[in-house]
Structure 1
């Protein structure tokens, strides 16, 4: 791609990073999807973003189908390119959006993976020690399970965001949206122990900062650091498979619904803009009911 195309991509990345406040992973996917389009343009001798027409967009989608990408990946790529060209139109760089009329393939419904309650107990057992790291890990696990917040939201919690008297945390979510999440007595106790004892010992004057969770050096913990901590926990708990950080968010939602919470409340607690994002968990609970029935009904 020529220098002009690279400049357009750079401007778009700045736009979704600064104005849209997208996560680093979302930005990475957008960049990869647009760079993939650039490769296609080179193959088709399309020298400018203005040269791409609806016919080219259809051909590009056909090639993606032939390469047997999943429906979810196809839908994401189309969405990325549609947003990119919408931005180019806003900036008056192009006149039309060749991806606007492409129909997105319907996604297969993927039922979220979650932990059963007895599995959660095993995870809590592995961080029940009294060391600074154990107390930090327990507070981290309690908060993720008690609130269902995203790992990126957890990494950004500061001390002033927490109200231990009312058991609430002010969370900064996607698109700079703020919401209040609630936690219970177990998380409250773990937080108090961690903040008053372990965090102070892990911190030092050279690393003074307001962030709640810190690593062994006293610096703010990262999303990658949280993922490493959780995977270490699952290994120690001898649970099969690897833990994706989002599994605790899925577990939070699933356990609430299994115990009678209504969908709208769970939607608000998760910070979902649309109810459809939350409804996927109803399939989890139905599967749970089905398995329970088959396991316990005498004539199942």
Structure 2
């Protein structure tokens, strides 16, 4: 590494006149604020990929602004100038998706500075994300959700060979928006049926770097009865679903076909985005939805923009 070059995962060594223990204020140099933000991300347990992405973007910002400029002197015009430089002055291609990510970095960085009372105003609040031509996620319509749940409920009530697993899985995904990996990591103990306010799910992570994604989610009324039926049929011990991910994909595909839907219409990703869109339409605040889905700040802007495009009225 060259002297003076910022590392992706290790903050630069402060010079003698920069002390990380002293509190930040509006007179602190940008270089020191970026280092403090790096430490904040690590303390929050953000993944190495997220920290690398923020560090990379802020290193570019520091290169443009200058490391010794005090953060209180940086205005909206400076941020806008930085974005124009990325587009037209840097000499390196910068597409809409990369630009949107760097805008998100500035918004999160200055949002943290404002929340920490380091700066009185957030100059990044006015920045707008460019329209990114990313394919819209596939989701189920309300009628398709009803068809799917009717089909899985029929399997659950089958007089010859009742099977609660398809209905448990479909209900779980449509309610929580879990990722496939999160679903596969669940244990029977992660579903708490003892709370008086209702059944809850604890999404856990073994990796310390991903602990910030852990969350407790509310499950629908009657889920305790459903999970008891499932446990009596499958007797799970170490994991809630003691099978392969491919097997669960087959369970969803079979339920999709029985519901009269096209093959693979009801897969993990489709049900995750269907859950997210339903919550958005029901008035859930975007930040609460981000936390529910376990999505990092840096990728949330693109996800939210696509969900909002899905949520626009039909013309």
TM-score by length of 2: 0.49
Partner of 1:198: 234
The structure 2 residue matched to 1:140, chosen from 169, 175, 183, is 169
Task: Kindly indicate whether the alpha-carbon contact (under 8 Å) linking 2:202 and 2:217 is maintained by their aligned counterparts in 1.
Answer: no
Task: Kindly indicate whether the alpha-carbon contact (under 8 Å) linking 1:272 and 1:278 is maintained by their aligned counterparts in 2.
Answer: no
The structure 2 residue matched to 1:75, chosen from 87, 100, 109, is 100
When the two chains are superposed, the root-mean-square deviation of aligned CA atoms in Å is 5.8
Structure 1: gaps spanning 5 or more residues: 217-224, 291-300
Structure 1 residues 205-230: Cα deviation after superposition (integer angstroms, max 9, x where no partner)? xx5xxxx62443xxxxxxxx76x555
The residue correspondences of 1:1-300 to structure 2 (distance < 5 A) are: 2=2, 5-6=6-7, 7-8=10-11, 15-16=40-41, 18-19=43-44, 22=46, 24=47, 28-32=49-53, 34-35=55-56, 50=67, 54=78, 58-62=84-88, 67=93, 69-70=95-96, 73-81=98-106, 83=108, 100=124, 103-107=127-131, 113-115=138-140, 116-117=144-145, 120-121=148-149, 124=152, 136=165, 138-145=167-174, 147-151=175-179, 155=185, 159=189, 161-163=191-193, 168-171=198-201, 181-185=218-222, 187-200=223-236, 203=237, 213-216=240-243, 228=246, 231-233=249-251, 235-236=253-254, 237=256, 239-240=262-263, 245-252=268-275, 263-264=282-283, 267=284, 271-272=288-289, 284=311, 286-287=313-314
Distance 1:51 1:108 in 2: 33
1:278/1:101 CA distance change after superposition, 3 Å: closer
Distance 1:180 1:51 in 2: 44
1:159/1:113 CA distance change after superposition, 3 Å: same
Distance 2:214 2:101 in 1: 23
1:135/1:230 CA distance change after superposition, 3 Å: same
Report deviation, 1:192: 1.0
Structure 2: gaps spanning 5 or more residues: 12-33, 204-210, 292-303
Distance 1:119 1:57 in 2: 47
Report deviation, 1:102: 8.1
Structure 1 residues 176-195: Cα deviation after superposition (integer angstroms, max 9, x where no partner)? 7865523144x444411333
**Higher relative helix content:** 1
Distance 2:139 2:240 in 1: 24
Count of matched residue positions in the alignment of Structure 1 and Structure 2:
242
Give the match's secondary structure for 1:183. Answer: coil
Distance 1:214 1:13 in 2: 37
Task: Kindly indicate whether the alpha-carbon contact (under 8 Å) linking 1:13 and 1:31 is maintained by their aligned counterparts in 2.
Answer: no
Distance 1:68 1:57 in 2: 10
Give the match's secondary structure for 2:171. Answer: helix
TM-score by length of 1: 0.51
Report deviation, 1:247: 2.9
1:137/1:118 CA distance change after superposition, 3 Å: closer
Distance 1:234 1:160 in 2: 22
Task: Kindly indicate whether the alpha-carbon contact (under 8 Å) linking 1:164 and 1:188 is maintained by their aligned counterparts in 2.
Answer: no
Distance 1:28 1:36 in 2: 12
